[in-house]
Structure 1
Amino acid sequence: MDAFIILVKLLCAHLCSDFIFQTDNINDCKRKSGIIGMYYQLFHSAIHALVAYLFVADWACWLIPAVIFATHFFVDLIKCKCNENSLRTFLIDQLCHIIVIAVLWGALFGKGVELSCFESIYSVKVWSIAMAYILMLKPSSILLSLFLDKWTPASQNTQSLPNAGQWIGYIERTLILTFVLIGSIEGVGFLLAAKSVFRFGELNKANEIRTTEYVLIGTLASFTIAILTGLVLNHLIS
């Protein structure tokens, strides 16, 4: 089996388990003390182990789910004990998980990496693109939320639709990534212009300039994440 594809599959499994299969209820219950918190920690780690095992599909290799389960449980347990929901904690937590995956992959499959591993570029491309689109969803949403936290206005619009902003961001970044991957950069400009037109009335009526600046920072940060991801991905799979 292509060693490089295994690495991409492990990373994709991590993203799915941490940001798609982990519901808000699981995330909240993990932080509770006592038996309940421990149960959800074990349950979440088991999901990671199972998804990694299924994605890699090397049924004889039980070391992968075992290591993923144990290390994820340990790292998340420390994170929950710190009880700090910040950008720094989020980045350190994700970095620890990625390092574990890289070390595990290197120990098991790193010696088999050769130039010939890129001959099956189609499979690598599919998994890499899938991972990029997953990044455009909840991972980017959490990253932006933590980044904008210090600028969040004290008063929020209570008339807004539930989770509307979150889904707008999902769709926005997905479209931008698609435009970049297909080489249609003008589509990104069109999307930015369309969003500006739709939000002009809201921003024009803002009582304070900080509301306009907050929306502008969030929009540009969201666009930057999607564009850079697309450019890096295009470079890697070209």
Structure 2
Amino acid sequence: MTVLLRLLFAHVISDFVIQSDNMCNGKQGKTKKKYVYQLLHSFIHALMAYIFVADWSNWIIPLTIFISHILMDYIKVEYMKKNAASFIIDQLIHIAVIVILWLSIFNQDGTFNQEFFKTEWNSLNMWVVAIAYLLTLKPTSVFLSLFIKKWTPPTIADRSLPNAGKWIGYFERILILTFILTGNAEGIGFLLAAKSIFRFGELSKAQEIKTTEYVLIGTLASFTIAILIGFTVLQIIK
């Protein structure tokens, strides 16, 4: 089971931590240079999978990851629209490839170098929590930006600090997940109240109804995802 979690961890790190905005935009460019970005991105995924699984003699894992990402990136760029549905489909396909790969290798008992890993490295709970924190960061941020895109006011970017909303979302979801995992879920209420005072107070004064609704949708969606991740983790590790 920990092998599957390592593969998922490598996927999240490669897709949402190592991959920069420039690389993401480069993959979808209109010149042939986009193929270089796609190859580089696929190589990073393969390398991370190879490192985290650490079965140094087994090239099936990185090769499968590399080929699947090359194919999926090409299909996504050439034939799919950039929206929330495409994002979900893309991630589900990658996860399906990882699960199938894990199942096929898991049946070959004894292929993994277990001496390489410490007890903590093989801990199910550690990997579940690590993946949960990763998911609350850029993966959730990317999904939310696609989800609320159609409601985004045209001048919202001009009235806020660069990337401020993204980092506010990161911190709030980390806090929510930490509150839940430490048994202090009541802290979520105080966090929501504090954010409401600072963000909704000014907006209501300015009577900017559309902007208020936009911020409210984003906030509630962000809180909901973090809470769902938190309680899902509790169910897995208890």
Structure-2-length-normalised TM-score: 0.91
Q: Give 1:64's match in structure 2, choosing from 58, 61, 65.
A: 61
Shift, 1:228, TM fit: 0.6
**Counterparts of 1:139 and 1:78, CA distance in 2:** 20
Which sits farther off after the overlay, 207-216 or 189-198?
207-216
**Counterparts of 2:34 and 2:121, CA distance in 1:** 42
Alignment partner of 1:93 is 2:90:
yes
| Structure 1 SS opposite 2:156 | coil
Alignment partner of 1:81 is 2:87:
no
For residues 6-43 of structure 1, give each alpha carbon's deviation from its aligned partner in whole angstroms, at most 9, with x where no partner exists. Answer: 00000010000001111111111111245311111111
Contact 1:206 1:212 (8 Å CA) reproduced: no
Moved segments of 4+, more than 3 Å: 119-122
| Structure 1 SS opposite 2:9 | helix
Contact 1:144 1:218 (8 Å CA) reproduced: yes
Aligned residue number for residue 197 of structure 1: 197
| Structure 1 SS opposite 2:49 | helix
Aligned residue number for residue 233 of structure 2: 233
Instruction: Look up the equivalent residue of 2:91 and give its one-letter code.
Output: Q
**Counterparts of 1:63 and 1:148, CA distance in 2:** 39
Contact 1:31 1:83 (8 Å CA) reproduced: no
Shift, 1:229, TM fit: 0.3
Shift, 1:147, TM fit: 1.0
CA RMSD, 1 decimal:
1.9
Aligned residue number for residue 35 of structure 1: 32
Matches within 5 A, 1:217-228: 217-228=217-228
Alignment partner of 1:18 is 2:9:
no
Shift, 1:210, TM fit: 2.0
Alignment partner of 1:125 is 2:122:
no
The 3 A distance-change label for structure 1 pair 133 and 81 is same
**Counterparts of 1:59 and 1:128, CA distance in 2:** 24
Unmatched tracts of structure 1, length 5 or more: 113-118
Contact 2:4 2:102 (8 Å CA) reproduced: yes
Contact 2:50 2:56 (8 Å CA) reproduced: yes
Alignment partner of 1:165 is 2:165:
yes
**Counterparts of 1:110 and 1:125, CA distance in 2:** 23
Matches within 5 A, 1:179-218: 179-218=179-218
Instruction: Look up the equivalent residue of 1:205 and give its one-letter code.
Output: K
Contact 2:2 2:122 (8 Å CA) reproduced: no
Aligned residues with identical type, % of pairs? 55
Which sits farther off after the overlay, 222-231 or 30-39?
30-39
The 3 A distance-change label for structure 1 pair 180 and 212 is same
